[in-house]
Amino acid sequence: MLENKKLNPKFWTRRSFLATIPLLFTNCSSTSNAKEKASFQHPAHNIKKETMRIRGINYDTGTEYVKGDNTRLIWNQTDIKRDMKVIKNELFCNSVNLYGSSIDRLIETANIALGAGLSVSIQARLIDGNKKQMLDYLKLTAIESEKLKSKGDVILNTGCELTLFTSGFLPGKTFLDRMQNLIWSWPALAIFYSSWIDHLTEMSDVSRSFFSGPITYSAGVWEDVDWNKFDYIGVNLYRDRDNEFSYVSDLKNLQSIGKPVIITEFGCCTFEGAERLGGGGWLVVDHSKIPPEIKEGYKRNEKVQAEHLAELLDLYYKENIHGCFIFDFLESGNVYNPENPKFDLDMASYGIVKALPPSSKDRLHWEKKLAFQTVAERYQSFSLGSLHPKS
């Protein structure tokens, strides 16, 4: 159980939900009717499928999962420029998925990323807005994203797991309510999805009306998506102990639809056993305590995260996946504490860099984890057309 009444929403992330869904979605609902949906291609974007064409990472510009609580409190261009330069020149990414609740921050960061030589995917997250508010927000994002196209390659990501983060599809006033309700209501998803397909069409129409570039969506594995509406297939696909044996077939099912596939989120945390929890690694933090602390029995291990990412990146290359965005670059709220493992919240971070205690109110400091170098080696080798990095 999530025990949401005990959670401190300020520290909540969407991954906690992934550990609680009954694992009956591992065949990826997002691939339903794949053969029937393979023929459509938006005339403006005849995208060729290529192996690991997009080598990216997610970057949080500040998300308000609860109104007034922003996941990125320290914000300045100096930090953003540093991060984009590192992502391009040291991590060897060629793309970054920018997500967050402020369109202004998204566009500001996108300008910096494009200036650094990265392509960008832009994903606005309006948490708990209704369907109309979400479409209005998407329209504004599309308008601003269109203005960026003269500066580089831009993808509009129309949303993330909207059956949870947008009200009106599943019962529940807040996304936390909808998460809990999905656990018991999954057998009746078809009833709750009566307006879902129509909304996907509206999302596509709004995007196409104001943005002339390619579009995608970050689907949860329980969401039935008609990929006719999009140029790229996008799925948040974490691997854990429950889907590790079906994971390759899940990838093949997505590939069978006939469009380029982007894994829009994947990764694990930084402790022994984290690779078995996948999207549920966050649950090792006890948020009922003030301040939050790591539960007993967990030991920091950066090698676990590094090996997990290496295995999945190699798998995506072998399976001819078009691209991926690692989750995540940095989780600034989960601060590294080497002196006291009990409060080393970076253990529960998916970031490949670890947030350091703030030395000032103006700058955000971090250090690379072991996974950083592992990812850099893979991405550099992929850019050269080979699977494994040179020893």
Confidence (pLDDT) at 30: 55
Q: Would you place residue 45 in the very low, low, confident or very high pLDDT band (cuts 50, 70, 90)?
A: low
Instruction: Look at 49 and 40; give whichever has higher pLDDT.
Output: 49
Residue 354 has pLDDT above 60, yes or no: yes
Q: Would you place residue 338 in the very low, low, confident or very high pLDDT band (cuts 50, 70, 90)?
A: very high
CA 141 – CA 128 distance, rounded (Å) = 17
Q: Would you place residue 46 in the very low, low, confident or very high pLDDT band (cuts 50, 70, 90)?
A: low
pLDDT in tens, 220-262: 988 989 999 999 999 999 999 999 999 999 999 999 999 999 9
Torsion over CA: 99, 20, 9, 29 (sign): positive
Residue 344 has pLDDT above 60, yes or no: yes
Residue located via tokens 């990265």: 118
CA 323 – CA 157 distance, rounded (Å) = 14
Average pLDDT score over residue span 172-181 = 86
Instruction: Look at 30 and 357; give whichever has higher pLDDT.
Output: 357
pLDDT in tens, 273-304: 999 999 889 889 998 999 999 999 999 999 99
Token pair of 318 as six digits: 């072998």
Contact between 29 and 221 (Cβ < 8 Å): yes
pLDDT in tens, 130-168: 999 999 999 999 999 999 999 999 999 999 999 999 998
Average pLDDT score over residue span 78-107 = 98
